[in-house]
Amino acid sequence: MSAQSRPAATDRWFAPLLAFDIVAALAMVAVMWAALLYAGDAINLAGEEQVAQRIFYFHIGSNIAALLGFLASLIGSVGYLFSRRLVWDRWAAASVEIGTIFGIIVLLSGAIWAKPAWNTYWIWEPRLTTATITVLIYIAYMLFRNGFEYADVRARFAAIYAIFAFLSVPLTYYSARLFRSIHPIVFDGANQEAQGGFSIGPTMGQTLAIAMVGFAFLFFALLFHRVRQLEMEARIEEIREALDE
């Protein structure tokens, strides 16, 4: 057996991660094809706004991935507090990191879409404001974790923080319904004051479903890789402590 093939044979993550990576890559190819070619045009929009509307599928897909990340961090944090096993903390930390990346993509894609729709990249309306606050809260979570030296202490305080941080997620979702907002509502109703809103036709709805599934696969592929990396870092740290004794 060669030196290069030995890690693949002994690493329990290798085969499932490789399979998941392939599925995620194919899913994102499907998202690109559906969003750019398959989905019909929004007939109530025109010009640059109609073209920019296609970023909607990446915007919502990233939203789903961010939601999965923050929800997984909540589950991991609760799991740690009940079990005191650091594996739950690693899942929570990795989920926040990946979820925050997608949260930033949500803000950036929304800004690109807002320019032709609202004639400005940014406006401090309720949905955008609460989404920004949510991303900042989870960025603070990552900084907060670095303030603790001992793993158990870090995991305990990070878990408590993550549980309270998740309260910002439903607030962001319902902000366009609770307050006067120009942000369109995609699910469960419509916003009469929305600007740049559109009706979703059959091919658009199908593309939206493809985007949500595709970004979910991408999220989990990235999550598994990050958890694997954190496990390796934990093992290295254990070896270092053993050598120092």
Average pLDDT, the chain: 86
- The pLDDT confidence band at residue 168, using thresholds 50, 70 and 90, is very high
Please write the tens of the pLDDT for every residue from 27-51. Answer: 999 999 999 999 888 777 677 777 7
Contacts by residues 176-179 (CB-CB < 8 Å, ≥ 24 positions apart):
176/126, 176/127, 178/126, 179/126
| Cβ proximity of 61 and 95 under 8 Å | no
Please write the tens of the pLDDT for every residue from 101-138. Answer: 999 999 999 999 888 888 888 888 888 999 999 999 99
Is the predicted pLDDT of residue 89 greater than 50, yes or no?
A: yes
Domain edges within the chain: 71-199
pLDDT at res. 185: 67
pLDDT at res. 242: 77
CA 34 to the chain's CA centroid: 20
> What's the length of the chain?
245
- Structure tokens belonging to residue 13: 């993550």
Please write the tens of the pLDDT for every residue from 111-121. Answer: 998 888 888 88
